[in-house]
Amino acid sequence: MSAFFRRRIESTIEHLIGVLNELDGDADLEPETVEEQHDLPVADRASVNFVLAEAARQYRAVKR
């Protein structure tokens, strides 16, 4: 891989991380493991799904 493409990939990753930070407002957000997601009560899982759907909606709105 050439140095040019490596820099392009690094730049793209940094940009995408910045987009995620703008969407969720948390630069240190770590996804929950599958096991932790299944430990959540049903109401909390619904809340997580709502938040993820809202973040996706906002991301699509920003892309336009």
Residue 16 DSSP SS3: helix
> pLDDT tens digits for 26-38?
777 776 666 665 6
Mark whether 53 and 39 lie in a shared domain: yes
Counted residue by residue, the chain has a size of: 64
**Domain of residue 53, residue span:** 31-64
Mark whether 10 and 26 lie in a shared domain: yes
CA 22 to chain centre: 10
Q: What does residue 36 show for φ and ψ, rounded to 5 degrees?
A: -65, -35
> pLDDT tens digits for 1-26?
799 989 999 999 999 888 888 887 77
> pLDDT tens digits for 42-62?
555 567 777 788 888 888 887
Mark whether 24 and 49 lie in a shared domain: no
The pTM of the full predicted model, rounded to 2 decimals, is 0.42
Q: List Cα–Cα distances, 50 to 4, 22, 44, 46, in angstroms.
A: 40, 18, 10, 6
Query: What residues contact residue 55 under an 8 Å CB cut-off, 6+ apart?
Result: 23, 24
Mark whether 41 and 62 lie in a shared domain: yes
